[in-house]
């Protein structure tokens, strides 16, 4: 029935995967489960407004019908419309703002689609006269966010989260992400992530093209099996508070992602000389100081330096002295594991 106008606003964090989602089946079903933690300073704030109208007007993003986010957004609304019948009679306006610049190696699609999905699910709740933002609400928001971008399914939670079915992890599913924070050693909640921005150039390989490379990848099956083993091992390290296993698994997984990328059909190379130099320096620093510091890498040249809050003074002075000069214009984003989305 006509609902006049209704709007909702949420802020959702970006996340960085430690076990990577790389390769998918139709309907945004991942080929392997992934594990990530949510960031804190890097988030998207989205306001979704719907105005009831018999004839739907074109979608507007930040007042613009031709916003760069439009193609992804139009596909998203087409895909999910069937689950939200009220969208059929709604003119849609989206206001979205990122706390971090585009193309710095932090997925803005994860925080964008997570915040949008939370808005949409809140509006649905209110139209149905339901209240509350409990675990059912977050599960639904996660499954909706997944349709926009697989990694966005994980951004509806703070702390650590797993998306994708893993036989050994109860309640894990390909449909939505689940939080795993309660079962891990609390010291990992203070994990820091210094994003060493090697390049701000737009990604040379989009995620969709990246996932597609796995379709006829010679190592695909071995990769999917190994990702599950690594995820189990990482969960164990997180539970036990085993920092050296944690670092080892994070680095192995990051380099595996790039190994897979380089051994793909079209042999893309996303790492830059500076990325390799940073890896070498991080490993030397670890060896010299004995401090538990490591890295992960997304599908780009930027290095995410991982360390605990308690080691922040030493690690950050190392980063400023040795790594900053390798970053584009000295650009480093000091971020950390965050507490998750907020209604605004
Ligand atoms: O969610 P997508 O389709 O943008 O894919 C994300 C792929 C990686 O960032 C490389 C890994 C991940 O799990 O986030």
Tens-place pLDDT, residues 92-113: 999 999 998 776 777 789 999 9
The angle formed by the CA atoms of residues 49, 69 and 62, to the nearest 5 degrees, is 40
Report how far ligand 1's centroid is from the alpha carbon of 137 (Å). 23
The answer to whether 190 and 337 are in contact (CB under 8 A) is yes
* Domain presence at residue 341: no
Query: Residue 239: is its pLDDT beyond 80?
Result: yes
Q: Domain boundary at 125, 151, 184, which?
A: 184
Binding site membership of 299 for ligand 1 (Cβ less than 6 Å): yes
Number of domains present in the structure of the chain: 2
* Domain presence at residue 344: no
Q: How far apart are CA 60 and CA 69, in angstroms?
A: 10
Do 199 and 175 fall into the same domain? Answer: no
Mutate to test the pocket of ligand 1, among 21, 32, 301 (most ligand atoms within 8 A of CB): 21
* Domain presence at residue 343: no
State both tokens at 33. 């489960």
265-270 average pLDDT score: 92
Q: Domain boundary at 184, 199, 219, which?
A: 184
Q: How far apart are CA 72 and CA 61, in angstroms?
A: 12
Do 152 and 215 fall into the same domain? Answer: no
Q: How far apart are CA 334 and CA 304, in angstroms?
A: 10
Q: What is the per-residue pLDDT for 117? A: 98
Q: To 10 degrees, what angle do helices 70-80 and 135-148 make? A: 130
- When pLDDT is cut at 50, 70 and 90, the band that residue 292 belongs to is very high
Do 230 and 292 fall into the same domain? Answer: yes
CATH number of the domain bearing residue 324:
3.30.70.890
Q: How far apart are CA 188 and CA 294, in angstroms?
A: 13
CATH number of the domain bearing residue 97:
3.30.230.10
Do 152 and 9 fall into the same domain? Answer: yes
Q: Domain boundary at 162, 184, 206, which?
A: 184
Do 175 and 83 fall into the same domain? Answer: yes
Binding site membership of 149 for ligand 1 (Cβ less than 6 Å): yes
**Number of residues assigned to the chain:** 344
Mutate to test the pocket of ligand 1, among 13, 16, 17, 259 (most ligand atoms within 8 A of CB): 17
The angle formed by the CA atoms of residues 69, 72 and 73, to the nearest 5 degrees, is 75
* Domain presence at residue 310: yes
Do 191 and 128 fall into the same domain? Answer: no
Neighbour-count burial for 37-73, b at 16+ CB within 10 Å, e otherwise: bbbbbbbbbbbbbbbeeeeeeebbbeeeeeeebbeeb
Q: What is the per-residue pLDDT for 219? A: 98
H or E element in which residue 13 lies:
strand 5-19
The answer to whether 46 and 115 are in contact (CB under 8 A) is yes
Do 190 and 174 fall into the same domain? Answer: no
- Full domain range(s) for residue 113: 5-184
């Amino acid at each position: 029935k006509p609902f006049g106008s209704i709007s909702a606003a949420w802020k959702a964090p970006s996340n960085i995967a430690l076990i990577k989602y790389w390769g998918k089946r139709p309907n945004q079903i991942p080929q392997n489960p992934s594990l990530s933690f949510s960031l804190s300073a890097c988030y998207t704030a989205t306001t979704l407004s719907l105005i009831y109208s018999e004839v739907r007007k074109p979608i507007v993003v930040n007042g613009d019908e031709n916003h760069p986010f439009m193609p992804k957004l139009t596909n998203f609304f087409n895909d999910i419309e069937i689950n939200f019948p009220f969208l059929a009679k709604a003119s849609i306006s989206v206001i979205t703002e990122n706390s971090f610049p585009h193309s710095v190696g932090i997925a803005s699609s994860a925080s964008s689609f997570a915040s949008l999905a939370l808005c949409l699910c809140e509006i649905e709740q209110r139209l149905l006269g339901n209240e509350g933002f409990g675990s059912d609400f977050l599960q639904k928001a996660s499954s909706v966010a997944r349709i926009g971008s697989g990694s966005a399914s994980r951004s509806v939670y703070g702390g650590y989260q797993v998306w994708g079915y893993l036989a050994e992890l109860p309640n894990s599913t390909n449909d939505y992400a689940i939080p795993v924070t309660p079962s891990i050693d609390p010291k990992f909640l203070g994990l820091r992530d210094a994003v060493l921005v090697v390049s701000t150039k737009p990604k040379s390989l989009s995620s969709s093209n990246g996932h597609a490379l796995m379709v006829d990848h010679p190592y695909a099956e071995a990769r999917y099996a190994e990702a599950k083993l690594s995820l189990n091992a990482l969960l164990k390290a997180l539970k036990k508070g085993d920092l050296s296993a944690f670092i080892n698994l994070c680095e192995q997984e990051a380099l595996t992602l790039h190994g897979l990328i380089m051994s793909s059909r079209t042999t893309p190379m996303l790492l830059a000389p500076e990325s390799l130099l940073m890896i070498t320096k991080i490993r030397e620093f670890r060896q010299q100081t004995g401090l538990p510091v490591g890295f992960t890498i997304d599908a780009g040249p930027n290095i995410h330096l991982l360390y605990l809050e308690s080691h922040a003074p030493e690690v950050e002075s190392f980063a400023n002295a040795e790594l900053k000069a390798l970053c584009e214009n000295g650009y480093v984003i000091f971020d950390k594991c965050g507490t998750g989305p907020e209604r605004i």
